[in-house]
Amino acid sequence: MKPRIVAIPALLLLVACGQQATPGSTASPSPSASASTSPSASAQRYEVRATVLESASHGPQLCSMVRTSLPPQCGGPDVVGWKWSAVKRESQQGTTWGTYDLVGTWDGSRFTLTEPARLSPSGSGTREVPEGDFQAPDFTSPCRAAAGDREAVDPSKAGAEDYERALRSAEEDKEFAGGWIDTEGGGTVLVMRFTRDLAGHEREIRKTWGGALCLTTAARSQAELRTVRERVVKAVPNLLGASIDVVGNAVSIRTYVATDELRRDMDRRFGAGVVRVHGWLRPAG
């Protein structure tokens, strides 16, 4: 079982996802789409695996988030140079879609193909989706690499309900900086972070949690990070998502393209490394 993160009050970072093939859908046999005329060689090209969807209300659009209805629904920037006749696709009730590996240029509002689209390896079915330059946090207990986790002191208070009580209590503390459960290796370790006074917080946690425990310090509390996230959402247009990275003790935001200019602006406004910018469109190699 892999460790799982908990207690992150955040907007979910959602990425493009496909839709399972359904009865009545149609398909074209060709594996690739025609690209439009390539821009100048100096234009930066990007790659992405994404759903392209066209409905009665809009033409082909690039989707970073898909509502899994039937037919699916989504919206996003227009895809220039797209031809459905050149790709395998699915169609239902006036909506046509598919999931593809794409390469093209980005002008801030449109994605222009510079190479033929390729059907993603798993077609239009459910699959893992690369998340641009975003890397999933490592939820392994940080105490394992140091002095080790505090072992269970009362196994009778190490169940799910005990954990929930400990978490609710910690969340009320203004110094709380997040927490998660690490189940790597078959054990269960409650990891919690605070901005100060770990000994005092351990005494409080032990009133409700008797299982293995790891306490570490963090520079910023959850309350501080929530405030930063709210300010970023208001300040940065066209965000694809924003969340609190409890392991990194930072706010992670997803944009179409992660520019150095935006990273510098976030560092200037909120401090170096407080806001981590991730791009959905990845520079093509």
How would residue 138 be classed by pLDDT, with cut points 50, 70 and 90?
confident
The alpha-carbon radius of gyration of the chain (Å, integer) is 23
Global pTM reads 0.75
Rounded average pLDDT over 170-190: 89
Residue 7 has pLDDT above 90, yes or no: no
The beta-strand segments (E) located in 29-115 are 45-55, 58-63, 78-80, 90-92, 95-106, 110-113
Q: What's CA 52's distance to the chain center, in Å? A: 19
Average pLDDT over residues 77-103: 94
With pLDDT > 70 as the criterion, what percentage of the chain qualifies? 76
How buried is 220 (Cβ within 10 angstroms: 0-12 exposed, 13-18 middle, 19+ buried)? buried
Average confidence (pLDDT) over 49-66: 94
Calculate mean pLDDT across residues 125-143. Answer: 58
Amino acid letter at 122? S
Contacts of 107 (CB under 8 A, 6+ apart): none
The region of weakest confidence among 153-162, 214-223, 239-248 is: 153-162
Q: How many CB atoms lie within 10 A of CB 269?
A: 14
Q: What DSSP element (H or E) covers 277?
A: strand 275-279
Listed by start position, the domains of the chain span 1-11+132-285, 17-128
178 CB-side CA count, 13 A: 27
